[in-house]
Amino acid sequence: MQLDTTPCGPVEVSYVVNGPIETNTYFAISGTEAVVVDPAWAGEGLAQSFAAAHPDVRIVAIVCTHGHADHVGGVAGMRRALGPGVPYLLPADDSQIPAVNIAHQRSAWGIETEDPGAPDRLIAEGDVIAFGDAALQVIAAPGHTPGGVVLFCPAEGGPVAFVGDTLFPGSHGRTDLAGGDEAAIRESLARLGRLLPPKTTCLVGHGPSTTVERELASNPFLQGV
């Protein structure tokens, strides 16, 4: 895959930590349009808070990096709040994951999560999600789930990548859940280390952000890339 690293317009990224597993829900804004990445919980509230803070910005897509319940739990509420004109996008190879993982979280931890419903669009590597003067480029990153993706944006102020639960500072996401694959996630991390510019800020699914440069220097799963 060849990434387009040509800087686009400025992109403002904000986030909210929400849901029972403290997931990072991101809002990427370019001009008067925004994309929501991984709405974890209480989707109506997320939509209302964003509208109050950004009355002149329109959300044009809801995108999930993978299908786990703690990353799709707010989708149904956001769809109700935003209306049918705002599509919900999910990786194609994770189309069955939400139902499986929602049932797992219910049985394992007693967490009830609303079904997000059928996605309006299934995404895969090479797809582009445009908003304002910017776009998210879809990179396949299986391992945490079969269809997990990373969303790369060469923003004017510096490239960013929404990495979901594929990469964490110094480590990687779990591979012991249904559909997880340790060999695949190691391969995905090595590939990301080669594909993404070193100055890319990696916005992770839980906890603090990191950079590709930092991970290449300190993350044992990216050593030797």
Q: How confident is the model over 191-212, as pLDDT tens digits?
A: 999 999 999 999 999 999 999 9
pTM: 0.97
Look up residue 126 and give its two tokens: 């090479």
Query: What confidence tier does 225 reach under pLDDT thresholds 50, 70, 90?
Result: low
DSSP summary character for residue 34: E
| Coil vs helix vs strand at 201 | strand
Look up residue 26 and give its two tokens: 């991101």
Half-sphere exposure of 213 (CA within 13 A, CB side): 8
CB atoms within 10 A of CB 176: 6
Identify which has the larger pLDDT, 1 or 118: 118
Distance CA 147, CA 172 (A): 16
Look up residue 167 and give its two tokens: 């990469």
CB atoms within 10 A of CB 109: 11
Q: Are residues 29 and 57 in contact, defined by beta-carbon separation less than 8 angstroms? A: yes
Work out the angle at residue 124's Cα, subtended by the Cα atoms of residues 128 and 195, and round it to the nearest 5 degrees. 75
